[in-house]
Structure 1
Amino acid sequence: MSAPSFEAIWGAVPYPALVLGADDAICAANPAAESFGAVSARHMEGRPLGRFLGEDSAVLDVVRQARRSGVSVAQYDILVGWGDQAALSHNIHAAPLNENDGAVLLLIHPLGMADKMDRSLGHRSAARSVTGMAAMLAHEIRNPLAGISGAAQLLEMGLGDADRELTSLIQTEAARIGKLVDRVEQFGDLRPAQRRPLNIHDVLDRARRAARAGFAAHARFSEDYDPSLPPTAGDPDQLLQVFQNLLKNAAEAVPKVGGSITISTAYAPGVKMQRPGGGSESLPLLVTITDNGPGVPEGLVRDIFDPFVSSKVNGTGLGLSLVSKLIADHGGVVECDSRPGRTRFRVRLPVWRGAAPDEKERAGSGVVVSEAEA
């Protein structure tokens, strides 16, 4: 067997790879880089890297450090945004090609689904910790809360108008605490999902209709569905709750005038979850909910699914944590990427394969073992 040509090796590199000149202009780009930037190599070549990444990009610092030191330099988990794409975490490797001409090979490694799955499983564990607290809250808080509210009502009957304002405040705050306990108590439902084959579009349509009739009446909806999607394995009521929560989150984020929410579905094979009992399960069904709100603060994006983490002034931080728990219970994963003017939640779910996997096996699911996209 003859040695493969440079072109074959260059084309087979699975990560975006760029050759940069001494002036940081792009000299060559492999096919993965073209796909990554949605720009042809011909359009990139001869243009400075900063034009695509921004002149203040940390990637340029890595490239220049490699050129100055003459050795390979790596920097992990830094934000990279190409053009108008959202900035996402990547690992960067830069290595000088020649000592004299200043050429540098740049490799961009997107943090793949394995990292996202690890975080999703971590969110699931955190949600289970809230589960143990939920039962205690329901028992230890509801009874005295009812007593406080009842006592305030009795006091109100014998007070003047000025003092009734205070008892009304007590009742209002007691009701608010009661609603918070109701939301936390949802984590205490340990019943396994009653999975059966279902059309994900039926669930999305129910969630959309409910949203348009209520909390999202001010938003403009658009749908981009793939009608050929096979059925997924799921509990329709739990998945309805998931998508209602995501739509409510989007509706609260978009502006009252000009707010838009897009729901799309696609078949995206390549992401698989390994199970300890052997074998793996593919997550090819992709549901994306996009809004044109101001975006999630950069410091919260990675932790947005953790319990009690919220970007809202009066948010409890439980809605998205419940979403993560329910999707993990279905063997799927949910992720978020956000920038000002566009926030996108992606939900990946398995296809119905007949008998549902054993729940105990599901609870110990591992990380992604193969992926076709970052």
Structure 2
Amino acid sequence: MQSAEQQMVAPPIDATQVLGAIPNPILVVGRQGDITYANPAAEQFFDSGAAVLARQNLRDLVPFGSPVLQLVSQVFRERYSVSEYDVDLGSPRLGERLVDVQVSPVPEAPDHVIVRFDERSMAAKIGRALTHRGAARSVTGMAAVLAHEVKNPLSGIRGAAQLLELNASQADRELTRLICDETDRICALVDSMEVFSDKRPIERGPVNIHQVLEHVRKVAQAGFGKHIRFVERYDPSLPPVYGNRDQLVQVFLNLVKNAAEAIGDDPGGEIVLTTAYRHGVRLAVRGSRDRLHLPLEVSVQDNGPGVPEDIRPHLFDPFVTTKVSGSGLGLALVAKIIGDHGGVIECDSRPRRTVFSARLPVHNPAVEASGESE
């Protein structure tokens, strides 16, 4: 009779069987760029059989000067996984191909790396995240117009109503008071938008993001989030963010408040605050050859009902809201502030799990001293 320990031993599995079952195109590449393995998904992706691919070099499959070659060299040199989003692998043979690329070392085979291509939604998501800056900029122009073309005439309307009120009957005074109240409400909305028209560069320096999140948590638990359980999953080795502390507090307080409102009175409500360092992550800027190095990821997750599917693509646009009395400017402001920091923000939502993730730059004293952008 076999012992329990003998019964629990799993049958040996060939690594190629595992790689072959993965639906993403995967290549195993040697130091000189020689391809030693291609899984079935890679055969389909490159429209070539494994035997043909094994006779080729990685340089034969990607465009001249492709970032993929740089990533492979970096992994051989530094021995940790790196990723790059929105890489163009387009060629006459492959057609248009925008992919995410992840290159990982193989500890058991130091002369080889694994290259994975991902045609799924990350590149599109990052592209949408960068367009949130454009949505915020559209509010900037609108705010300037409203301040001049709307706010000034409203002041005249309010003043005229106050003059009429002096000689009006009791019934008419109710109408003049209504005019004053409504003009005040519109002026308050315009005032809330004026922050978008501030084009001055923000003052930035090293910010401990964990101190920011701790402050936000304390404010939340003292008020609107007192009934919610907070979970903190922090990377204690995280370097400082290159940012403005007050504005980052505003961003994450807004996100936490939105999460708390989404949870409502649910006794099992939970908000998870997470920080992480993403090695080697670079994001492409559409319409430019620049790539952003944004390794710091800060996430706010809640277990509320989720964002309605029909507004997810427009979540960071101005005046988009699910709240009955909301103005729809909160997330547009979040997008503006994160954009002013040179970062991006994205939302991934489904029932019982909504995550807002901001990617931010690291404080680099050398870059700050030179006045350049990271």
1:235 aligns with 2:244: yes
Determine helix, strand or coil for the equivalent of 1:356. Answer: helix
1:123-176, CA deviations, whole angstroms, 9 ceiling, x for partnerless residues? 212321221221121122222222223333444454455444333332332222
Do the aligned partners of 1:253 and 1:293 also contact (CA within 8 Å) in 2? yes
Deviates further, 172-181 or 248-257: 248-257
Tell me how far apart the structure 1 counterparts of residues 226 and 184 of structure 2 sit (CA, whole Å): 26
Do the aligned partners of 2:318 and 2:328 also contact (CA within 8 Å) in 1? yes
Unaligned stretches of 5+ residues in structure 1: 1-5, 18-29, 33-89, 91-106, 363-374
Report the equivalent of 1:272: 282
1:194 aligns with 2:206: no
Report the equivalent of 2:189: 180
1:298-344, CA deviations, whole angstroms, 9 ceiling, x for partnerless residues? 11112211222222233322211221122122121111111223321
In the alignment of these two chains, the number of paired residues is 271
1:330 aligns with 2:341: yes
Query: Which amino acid in structure 1 is aligned with residue 274 of structure 2?
Result: S
Tell me how far apart the structure 2 counterparts of residues 111 and 173 of structure 1 sit (CA, whole Å): 45
Do the aligned partners of 1:277 and 1:361 also contact (CA within 8 Å) in 2? no
Tell me how far apart the structure 2 counterparts of residues 171 and 217 of structure 1 sit (CA, whole Å): 37
Do the aligned partners of 2:135 and 2:316 also contact (CA within 8 Å) in 1? no
Deviates further, 282-291 or 145-154: 145-154
1:37-66, CA deviations, whole angstroms, 9 ceiling, x for partnerless residues? xxxxxxxxxxxxxxxxxxxxxxxxxxxxxx
Do the aligned partners of 1:193 and 1:238 also contact (CA within 8 Å) in 2? no
1:183-262 correspondence to structure 2 within 5 Å: 183-258=192-267, 259-262=269-272
Unaligned stretches of 5+ residues in structure 2: 1-13, 26-38, 42-99, 101-116
Do the aligned partners of 1:305 and 1:324 also contact (CA within 8 Å) in 2? yes
1:57-84, CA deviations, whole angstroms, 9 ceiling, x for partnerless residues? xxxxxxxxxxxxxxxxxxxxxxxxxxxx
With structure 1 as the length reference, what TM-score do the two structures score? 0.63
1:338-367, CA deviations, whole angstroms, 9 ceiling, x for partnerless residues? 1223321111112112223988867xxxxx
Determine helix, strand or coil for the equivalent of 1:110. Answer: coil
Between the aligned residues of both structures, percent identity stands at: 53
Report the structure number with the largest CA radius of gyration.
2
Query: Which amino acid in structure 1 is aligned with residue 203 of structure 2?
Result: Q
Instruction: Compute the RMSD of aligned alpha carbons.
Output: 3.4
Do the aligned partners of 1:15 and 1:109 also contact (CA within 8 Å) in 2? no
With structure 2 as the length reference, what TM-score do the two structures score? 0.63
Question: What is the aligned counterpart of 2:353 among 338, 342, 351?
Answer: 342
Question: What is the aligned counterpart of 2:19 among 11, 31, 34?
Answer: 11
Tell me how far apart the structure 2 counterparts of residues 116 and 330 of structure 1 sit (CA, whole Å): 19
Tell me how far apart the structure 2 counterparts of residues 126 and 288 of structure 1 sit (CA, whole Å): 21
Q: How big is the shift at 1:197?
A: 1.0
Query: Which amino acid in structure 1 is aligned with residue 258 of structure 2?
Result: N
Do the aligned partners of residues 136 and 338 (structure 1) sit closer, same or farther apart at CA in structure 2, a change above 3 Å counting?
Answer: same
Report the equivalent of 2:104: none
Tell me how far apart the structure 2 counterparts of residues 267 and 238 of structure 1 sit (CA, whole Å): 21
Tell me how far apart the structure 2 counterparts of residues 217 and 138 of structure 1 sit (CA, whole Å): 37
Query: Which amino acid in structure 2 is aligned with residue 111 of structure 1?
Result: S
Do the aligned partners of 1:131 and 1:188 also contact (CA within 8 Å) in 2? yes
Tell me how far apart the structure 1 counterparts of residues 260 and 133 of structure 2 sit (CA, whole Å): 25
Do the aligned partners of residues 321 and 292 (structure 1) sit closer, same or farther apart at CA in structure 2, a change above 3 Å counting?
Answer: same
Report the equivalent of 2:83: none
Deviates further, 275-284 or 290-299: 275-284
1:127 aligns with 2:136: yes
Do the aligned partners of 1:286 and 1:347 also contact (CA within 8 Å) in 2? yes
1:284 aligns with 2:256: no
Report the equivalent of 2:325: 314
Question: What is the aligned counterpart of 2:120 among 97, 110, 129?
Answer: 110
Do the aligned partners of 1:285 and 1:348 also contact (CA within 8 Å) in 2? yes
Determine helix, strand or coil for the equivalent of 1:166. Answer: helix
Do the aligned partners of 1:269 and 1:282 also contact (CA within 8 Å) in 2? no
